[in-house]
Amino acid sequence: MKPTIRDVAKMANVSISTVSRVMNSPETVVESKRLRVLEAIEHLQYQPNAFARGLIYKRSNTLGVMIPDVENPYYAGLLRGMQDAAVDLGYSLMIVNTDRSKERTITYVENLYEKQVDGIIFASDILHPEYYDIIRHYQIPLVLASTNSIEYDVPSVNIDNEKGAYDAVRYLIELGHRKIGMLSFPYDDSISGEPRYNGFIKAIKEYGLEECATHVTYADHRFESAYKAAEQLFSKYPDLTAVFTASDEFAMGAISFLHEKNILVPDQVSVVGFDDIRMAHMYVPKLTTIAQPVYEIGQHAVKKLYELITEEKVQLYTEILSHKLVIRNSTQEV
């Protein structure tokens, strides 16, 4: 059997709390006891397990990660960045899927608190007051990833969603498109729905295409919903030559609908996505899209949370990473 902290205390003829203090604050223990404990640790080759380390150092070396939809391929890159950064810092991740449910999210915060996570990364969802209040009540360090909060002063890592959408629509306009539609997240989604819609509107107004402002249908965050939204959009506006979509999954939903209606992409309709998930360059046609640095967002979020845990402050509260337009085969000139 592996030696325990009790075995060390027994061999050194001290209390368990003394062993803990030797490992945590050795300067607080008299030299004679400290030497006995160190000799017992070496003799027994004692290594505290994760739970014991947590008791000793008041840390579990575990970070909670709250994401809204584990099936969404966007989160693969985000989680990979978090995982790599966590490993480098000696942490592990505890990942929970909130499904954008308030009740489930609050329950998960309580569970993460009971598991003694050192901090929480809250990703890609709205930080509702109920979430903020309970996290603050439990005094858990918090960082936002791929989201932000206007109401609360919380460190965050994100991109400029409005600018990304603007760049996508401007590219379609520069290709010669004048009849442009959008498949949007719900507008009340202040994280990516409202800003990406606003970027669409900004571009069409800047280029004098105000009539395109009505060419918008809304869907939740899944492929199936985007497919139905595309059907609604083209039923109402069959002469569209281009569509900007709020995500790559939405772009795939739109292209699937157009394919089934024998409408060629990009020959008859150009489609631009958003995110640049891994499948974007595997899809047929390969997607033109706004690439988010999702891996880097994950990395930076973990590093920022580590800074908050260890220093109790961060140097840069709001971090905006750069996006870029990736041109592939789903768009062409008209």
Q: Which tens digit of pLDDT belongs to each residue from 260-296?
A: 999 999 999 999 999 999 999 999 999 999 999 999 9
Q: How confident is the model at residue 189 (pLDDT cuts 50, 70, 90)?
A: confident
Q: Does residue 333 belong to any structural domain of this protein?
A: no
Q: What is the pLDDT of residues 163-182, one digit of tens each?
A: 999 999 999 999 999 999 99
Helices (H), ranges, the chain: 5-12, 16-24, 31-44, 50-57, 74-88, 102-114, 129-137, 161-174, 193-206, 223-236, 248-260, 294-311
Location of structure tokens 């890159």: 77
Q: What is the pLDDT of residues 78-87, one digit of tens each?
A: 999 999 999 9
Specify the DSSP element, H or E, that contains 325.
strand 324-326
Whether residue 208 sits in one domain with residue 110: no
Helix axes 248-260, 223-236, angle to 10 degrees: 50
Whether residue 52 sits in one domain with residue 83: no
Q: How many CA atoms lie within 13 A of 73 on its CB side?
A: 13
Domain boundary among 32, 57, 82: 57
What pLDDT was estimated at residue 2?
Answer: 79
Distance, CA of 88 to CA of 263 (rounded, Å): 48
- CATH at 109: 3.40.50.2300
Q: Does residue 118 belong to any structural domain of this protein?
A: yes
Whether residue 39 sits in one domain with residue 134: no
**pLDDT tops 80 at residue 234:** yes
Whether residue 165 sits in one domain with residue 153: no
Number of separate domains in the chain: 3
Tell me the whole-structure pTM to 2 decimals. 0.82
Whether residue 69 sits in one domain with residue 41: no
Location of structure tokens 């509702």: 128
**pLDDT tops 90 at residue 47:** no
Question: Both tokens of residue 133?
Answer: 């209040």
Q: Does residue 328 belong to any structural domain of this protein?
A: no
Residues 6 or more apart in contact with residue 184 via CB below 8 angstroms: 193, 196, 197, 200, 216, 217, 218, 219, 246
Helix axes 31-44, 5-12, angle to 10 degrees: 130
- Identify the residue with better confidence: 17 or 49: 17
Distance, CA of 262 to CA of 241 (rounded, Å): 14
Domain boundary among 57, 81, 98: 57
DSSP 77-140: HHHHHHHHHHHHTT-EEEEEE-TT-HHHHHHHHHHHHHTT-SEEEEESS---HHHHHHHHHTT-
Question: Both tokens of residue 145?
Answer: 């990833």
Whether residue 165 sits in one domain with residue 154: no
Whether residue 96 sits in one domain with residue 129: yes
Domain boundary among 37, 57, 77: 57
Q: Does residue 204 belong to any structural domain of this protein?
A: yes
Burial class (CB in 10 A: 0-12, 13-18, 19+), 318: middle
Query: Is residue 180 classed as helix, strand or coil in its secondary structure?
Result: strand
- CATH at 9: 1.10.260.40
Whether residue 308 sits in one domain with residue 220: no
Neighbours of 206 (CB within 10 A): 12
Whether residue 154 sits in one domain with residue 66: yes
Q: Does residue 230 belong to any structural domain of this protein?
A: yes
Cα-based torsion angle of the residue sequence 103, 187, 285, 179 in order, rounded to the nearest 10 degrees: 170
Q: Does residue 331 belong to any structural domain of this protein?
A: no
Question: Both tokens of residue 38?
Answer: 């160190």
CA-wise closest residue to 181 among 113, 128, 258, 122: 258
Whether residue 180 sits in one domain with residue 170: yes
**pLDDT tops 90 at residue 302:** yes
Q: Does residue 330 belong to any structural domain of this protein?
A: no
Enclosing domain of residue 154: 62-159+294-321
What pLDDT was estimated at residue 191?
Answer: 86
Location of structure tokens 């993460």: 112
Q: Does residue 250 belong to any structural domain of this protein?
A: yes
Whether residue 133 sits in one domain with residue 97: yes
Whether residue 42 sits in one domain with residue 122: no
